[in-house]
Amino acid sequence: MPPLKYHIVSRIPYARGLGSSSAAIVAGIIAGLVLAGHRLPVWGSESLLQIAASIEGHPDNVAPVIYGGFQIGIHNGTRWLTERVPTPP
């Protein structure tokens, strides 16, 4: 594969705890999978979450990037699980 050059514009401020690094991690994983021609299962194993959380060390910011909303995460000894927490309108 030839070298790639890309330019990214992110409107997420960095160094503010808003998940800019997590957004970059998830985007990089997806881009790499697409370029390599790989697919991940969507339902059941949450493969993208597991990969991203292993890079970030926890799902605190990668889960909202992937699923949106306010997420809470727990590790069950085998894998990360997350659930969206309802917030008032």
From the number of C-beta atoms within 10 Å of its C-beta (0-12, 13-18, 19+), residue 60 rates as middle
Q: What angle do CA 8, 30, 18 make, to 5 degrees?
A: 60
**Residues 21-76 pLDDT 10s:** 899 999 999 888 888 888 877 666 689 999 999 999 999 989 999 999 999 999 99
What's the whole-model pTM score?
Answer: 0.82
